[in-house]
Amino acid sequence: MISFLLLLLLSPISTTASTAAYPTVPGTADTSASASLNDNLTPIRRELYGDGRIFDISHRYTSNLPAYRSDNGLGQFLQLAASMKNGSFANISEMKFSVHTGTHVDAPGHFFDHYFDAGFDVDTLDLEVLNGPGLLIDVPRDSNITAEVMKSLNIPKGVTRVLFRTLNTDRRLMFKSKFDTSFVGFTEDGAKWLVQNTDIKLVGIDYLSVGAWSEMVSTHLVFLESKEALIKFQAF
């Protein structure tokens, strides 16, 4: 199951989300609130709401969206199963793709088979953790997110939701179809440091994995073990 996340961003450290990261399909969206005054048949897809307090940080599904281990992106995922042009009384679309696509959360069962068997899917995640004010923080661009980096960020106690903006955003990796294994993510010791020393329950990162490629499995195990607390999703 896919979750579309709306996040309230309050960011004492970094200011607001970089406008360079919007729209989620470059050149196609008008993100300004005034664009909601729509009197013609051009769809408006807003990403900012509530005077900039609410950001829709989910990426739009397009065939070019990068997908795990794919060289060519998501590909054809949407079809019109019934169409008014062909005499149907309604348009009915069908989608088919991996649930690990675009902006998503990982269920505890993603890396723990016994959690999977026990039914710990995304529906078991706490919406109170998933929704609410969050901290957007820029991490050093010359490193993966290690224990040392985590320590240097000085994220205050009490902060439960953090989006980590990394070199991935500068490299615009979410806008490149070819899957790139050199993305920035957490190292195992970075994940452990976060779990042991902060109150963070929601970890957001700007590419398709929260764990750096070389420590993919071990990092996920650290994050997902608590099964109700640590969640990751990919965005911006």
Task: Return residues touching ligand NAG (CB under 6 A).
Answer: 80, 83-86, 91, 142-144, 167, 182, 184, 212-214
CA-derived radius of gyration, the chain = 18
Residue 223, SS3?
helix
Minimum distance, C-beta of residue 176 to ligand NAG, in the bound complex (Å): 15
Minimum distance, C-beta of residue 224 to ligand NAG, in the bound complex (Å): 19
Minimum distance, C-beta of residue 168 to ligand NAG, in the bound complex (Å): 9
- The neighbouring-strand residues paired with 93 are 80
CA-based nearest residue to 177, from 98, 62, 100, 96:
62
* Dist. CA 55–CA 227, nearest whole Å: 26
**Pairing between strand 54-56 and 6-9?**
antiparallel
* Dist. CA 84–CA 109, nearest whole Å: 40
CB nearer ligand NAG, residue 71 or residue 89: 89
CB nearer ligand NAG, residue 48 or residue 184: 184
Minimum distance, C-beta of residue 212 to ligand NAG, in the bound complex (Å): 4
CB nearer ligand NAG, residue 53 or residue 141: 141
> How many C-beta atoms surround the C-beta of residue 226 within 10 A?
12
What tokens does 75 get?
A: 């590909």
Minimum distance, C-beta of residue 163 to ligand NAG, in the bound complex (Å): 18
CB nearer ligand NAG, residue 1 or residue 90: 90
- Identity of residue 221: L
* Dist. CA 125–CA 5, nearest whole Å: 13
CB nearer ligand NAG, residue 36 or residue 181: 181
Minimum distance, C-beta of residue 211 to ligand NAG, in the bound complex (Å): 8
CB nearer ligand NAG, residue 83 or residue 197: 83
